[in-house]
Amino acid sequence: MSHEAALLHELPLTAAARTPDAIALHDGARRLSYGELAYDIERFASGLASLGTRRGDRIAIFLDKRLETVIASFGAPAAGAVFVPINPLLKPDQVGYILRDCAVRVLVTSTDRLKSLAAALGECPELHHVVVVGAPPAGTALPVPLQGWSELLDAPRKAGHRVIDTDIVGILYTSGSTGKPKGVVLSHRNMVAGAKSVASYLGNCSDDVLLAALPLSFDAGFSQLTTAFRAGASVVLLNYLLPKDVVKAIEAHRVTGLTAVPPLWIQLTQVSWPDAARQSLRYFANTGGRMPLDTLKSLRAIMPQASPFLMYGLTEAFRATYLPPEEVDRRPDSIGKAIPNTEILVLRPDGSACEPGEPGELVQRGALVAQGYWNDPERTAERFKPLPGHLAGVMIPEVAVFSGDTVRKDEEGFLYFIGRRDEMIKSSGYRISPNEVEEVLYATQLIAECAAFGIPHPSLGEEVAVVVTPREGQVLDTARLIAMCRDRLPAYMVPSRVESREGPLPRNANGKIDRKALGEAMRAALAAGEAR
């Protein structure tokens, strides 16, 4: 296969045709060449076909990062099915919800995870098969037939279903405002176009070694696979417990590219980096929220030869913008400009374009815009809408994704993130971005982590509250922290409530600090206190 990949599973298969002996994946002591990966993808696809999998059937994958996770993620599309990666941190009830919501037909999971899922699987009438990685669990009654991983791959060869690039290839579940996750529906075209775009500006090549530290159920985590496979690069699969595990993996594998979320980057600035780890990275990339400037400065000091790529994206369109490394010194607080083959608009509520410096909603158009939310036409209609002022004479309206994020654009076209519409703090008639407050808190260098949010106030509407953790080995001086905030923030943005706690702040399933949960907990505690 020598043509340009148009379908998701063609990314590794095309690389295998070029360089079959090159290493595609590292999983602890296990390695898989591109030739071996392609062979196993085709065997998995054939195994699904032998189970009677139909075109478009959903195949859920509930595993940690391992070779089998990758094989299943690309093997399901090769069979003409739709892969549904489930974050391994989710609890059985949450997994059961996803299995029911998108009517999963086949679940791929491990022996230990299957034991905890037994009750939830009984409530999934559309589930026909469970494929188990490892020995079948002893003494566990299950309502669904089991198939061993090796047994599936050794099934008699059977062809899958033909698909084209506009067909659905995956459903990525992301946390929703209602508490129930929402499934973002992606086509082959969405994912392949995203891989091509990101690999182009990161300059990925066959010599790269990328570290997959983010969950593969997270769009930026799965992107490590797609961009690497498009370039014929290697990927190191890492299930880390501590930040130092990440540094050890960088050193051991001579990693050249790492993409992470701000909480992990913050932690990585607080551990020791051996010279070999400091020198191997060609680039580091940030996604999933704004990286504090103090953290960026520390990372650049740790690995001065590495190019920093500051990125912004949303699961509904994979990736939206990036700031070229050569612009970081001039505008480190910018999220950059649109990635290749994407256009970013900043629009007012009436659909007209904002002037430079005027806040508006970030709207993305192009090949990366997802197909909507699974089984949720109401929320799909809210977020995925026809562009206003469409070209005259074009009969089919173009649908763009309206992010719900507030940004502004400067005179040169660079974008600046202000905040999520549903996270903005509204105090004394002002709209306050929690990111701006957090940026100042980090700049004080008195804290390790923080989260800012609004809590109800009888006269202000909301007041600014923050939860912070002290730096390791230090005792936080709250009064000094507030005094430094007063020096750097207007009065209406200065936190009026500061809660200090030990240890890392809670994360959501994608590794981001769970600002929403922290805010809800403080609001509930205050309400309970008032009730007493």
3-class SS shares of the chain: helix, strand, coil, % to 5: 35, 25, 40
Indicate if the alpha-carbon torsion angle 283, 226, 34, 83 is positive or negative: positive
Bridge partners, residue 107, by sequence: 60, 130
d(CA 219, CA 368): 12
**Coil, strand or helix at 187:** strand
**Least confident residue range of 40-44, 75-79, 419-423:** 419-423
State the angle between helix axes of 188-202 and 219-231 in degrees (0 to 180), rounded to the nearest 10. 70
Here the tokens at position 265 are 């980057």
Average pLDDT over residues 448-470: 88
Quote the CA–CA distance of 212 and 238 in Å, as a whole number. Answer: 6
Amino acid at 190: N
pLDDT for 393: 60
Lowest model confidence (mean pLDDT) among 161-175, 284-298, 355-369, 383-397: 383-397
CA distance 99 to 141: 19
pLDDT of residue 6: 95
Nearest Cα to Cα of residue 319 among 349, 291, 295, 286: 286
Straight-line distance from the first to the last Cα atom of the chain, in angstroms, rounded to the nearest whole number: 70
Contacts of 270 (CB under 8 A, 6+ apart): 243, 448, 471, 472
Separation of alpha carbons 262 and 273, rounded Å: 18
Position 178 scores a pLDDT of 44
CA separation for the pair 282, 284 (Å, rounded): 7
Alpha-carbon gap, residue 512 to 459, rounded angstroms: 32
pLDDT at 394: 63
Q: DSSP states of 28-77 as a string?
A: TTEEEEHHHHHHHHHHHHHHHHHTTPPTT-EEEEE--SSHHHHHHHHHHH
Q: Is pLDDT of 305 > 70?
A: yes
Cβ burial 467-497 (10 Å sphere, 16+ → b, else e): bbbbeeeeebeeeebbebbeeebeeebbbee
- In angstroms, the Cα distances linking 410 to 326, 335, 356, 435 are 17, 11, 5, 19
Q: Are strands 168-174 and 360-366 parallel, antiparallel or unpaired?
A: unpaired
Predicted confidence (pLDDT) at residue 389 exceeds the cutoff of 70: no
Q: Is the pLDDT of residue 50 over 90?
A: yes
Return the structure tokens found at 346: 């900043």
pLDDT at 459: 63
Q: Which residue has the higher pLDDT, 532 or 67?
A: 67
- pLDDT of residue 315 exceeding 90, the answer is no
Give the 3-state secondary structure of residue 307: strand
- Residue where the block lists tokens 């340009």: 4
pLDDT, average across residues 349-354: 92
Average the pLDDT over 190-206 and give the result.
Answer: 97
How far, in Å, CA of 38 to CA of 40, rounded?
Answer: 6
| Residue 390 pLDDT level (bands cut at 50, 70, 90) | low
More confident residue, 345 or 290: 345
Tell me if residue 282 falls in helix, strand or coil.
Answer: coil
pLDDT at residue 228 tops 80: yes
pLDDT band at 109 (very low <50, low <70, confident <90, very high): very high
Where do the H-state alpha helices sit in 417-501? Answer: 434-443, 478-488
What local confidence, expressed as pLDDT, does residue 392 receive?
A: 56
- The answer, yes or no, to whether residue 352 has pLDDT greater than 80, is yes
Given pLDDT bands bounded at 50, 70 and 90, which one contains residue 492?
Answer: confident
User: Could you tell me the pLDDT band of residue 490, with boundaries at 50, 70 and 90?
Assistant: confident
Q: Dihedral sign, CA of 470, 471, 477, 481?
A: negative
pTM: 0.84
Question: How does DSSP classify residue 138?
Answer: T
Q: What is the pLDDT of residue 165?
A: 97
* Across 133-147, 422-436, 495-509, least confident range: 422-436
Ranges 172-186, 221-235, 277-291, 453-467: which has the least confidence: 172-186
CA distance linking residue 69 with residue 66, whole number of Å: 5
Per cent of the chain over pLDDT 70 is 95
Distance of CA 227 to the CA centre of its chain: 14
460/4: higher pLDDT: 4
Mean pLDDT of the chain: 91
Residue 431 confidence (pLDDT): 66
Q: Is the pLDDT of residue 183 over 60?
A: yes
Is residue 29 packed enough to be buried (19+ CB in 10 Å), middle (13-18) or exposed (0-12)?
A: exposed
For residues 36-63, average pLDDT: 97
pLDDT band at 430 (very low <50, low <70, confident <90, very high): low
- Mean local confidence (pLDDT), 269-289: 93
Place of tokens 């899958």: 160
Amino acid at 101: D
Q: What is the pLDDT of residue 174?
A: 82
Beta bridge partners of 10: none
DSSP string, 221-273: HHHHHHHHHHHT-EEEE---SSHHHHHHHHHHHT--EEEE-HHHHHHHTTS--
- CA proximity to 195, closest of 165, 236, 223, 232: 223
Q: DSSP states of 310-337 as a string?
A: EEE--TTTS--EEE-GGGTTT-TT--BE
Q: What is the pLDDT of residue 281?
A: 97
Q: What's the CA gap between 45 and 82, in Å, rounded?
A: 11
Give residue 1's pLDDT band: very low, low, confident or very high (50, 70, 90): very low
